[in-house]
Amino acid sequence: MIRVGKIVATHGLAGDVIMTHLTGKKDWLKPGDALFIAIRKDSYIPYFVKSIKSSTNSEMILHFDDSDSVEQSKKLVSREVFVEESVLAKVVDDSPLLWIGFEVIDAHVGSLGPIEDIYQTAQQWLATVRYKDQEALLPIIEQTLQRVDLKQKKVFLELPDGLLEIYATNS
């Protein structure tokens, strides 16, 4: 599963929630799709989308099938939201979110291991990999991204000189 966002607030009294998301598109989710909400670590509960009232490239107002009160919705606030890869693949075929699990190959160092997670900041995407037993954040920007091999599930980067040394010296 792929982490796509977070429930940030309730909306109204009918059980609606506001979800921020990282997809960069507003039409990727459809009524009937399942979102998986992390109630506890590594415990994902499916919630089926009944309706989408408002949608932007970064936020949605959602109503779930089994959520009819603000009290039920409050339990979901601040929880991370995940989705099966197949839901995103229909409309977000070029998103770095789909690269979770891909092997990162640096032009100078070689294999850095699999991408554990992807984050979006205001300026760029960041990939998380485990390097020298530490979490390393790698920028996925035009200057570093060489290519992506979807068939082989590999992301080829040319990282700035000295970036990986930061993680090597702190171990």
Q: What are phi and psi of 71, to 5 degrees?
A: -65, -40
pLDDT in tens, 70-96: 998 999 999 999 988 777 766 655 678
Same fold, 2-90 and 97-169: no
Whole-number average pLDDT of the chain: 87
- Per-domain boundaries in the chain: 2-90, 97-169
pLDDT (0 to 100) of residue 170 = 57
Distances (CA, A) of 4 to 31, 77, 88, 118, 119: 17, 15, 9, 9, 9
pLDDT in tens, 26-64: 888 889 999 999 988 778 999 999 999 887 888 999 999
The arrangement of secondary structure in 97-169, i.e. its CATH architecture, is Roll (2.30)
**Distance in angstroms (rounded) separating the CA atoms of residues 41 and 35:** 16
Question: Using H for helix, E for strand and C for coil, what is the string for the chain?
Answer: CEEEEEEEEEECCCCEEEEEECCCCCCCCCCCCEEEEEEECCEEEEEEEEEEEEECCCEEEEEECCCCCHHHHHCCCCCEEEECHHHHHCCCCCCHHHHCCCEEEECCCEEEEECCEEEECCCCEEEEEEECCEEEEEEECCCCEEEEECCCCEEEECCCCCHHHHHHHCC
Higher pLDDT, 133 or 24: 133
**Phi, psi values for residue 24, rounded to 5°:** 80, 5
For 86-143, the pLDDT digits (tens) are 777 666 556 787 788 899 999 999 999 999 988 888 788 899 999 888 899 999 988 9
pLDDT of residue 92: 54
Instruction: For the domain made up of 2-90, give the CATH fold.
Output: Elongation Factor Tu (Ef-tu); domain 3 (2.40.30)
Query: CA nearest 115: which of 156, 146, 86?
Result: 156
How much is the pLDDT for 148? 87
Give me the half-sphere count of Cα atoms (radius 13 Å) on the Cβ side of residue 47.
30
> 98 forms bridges with which residues in the sheet?
none
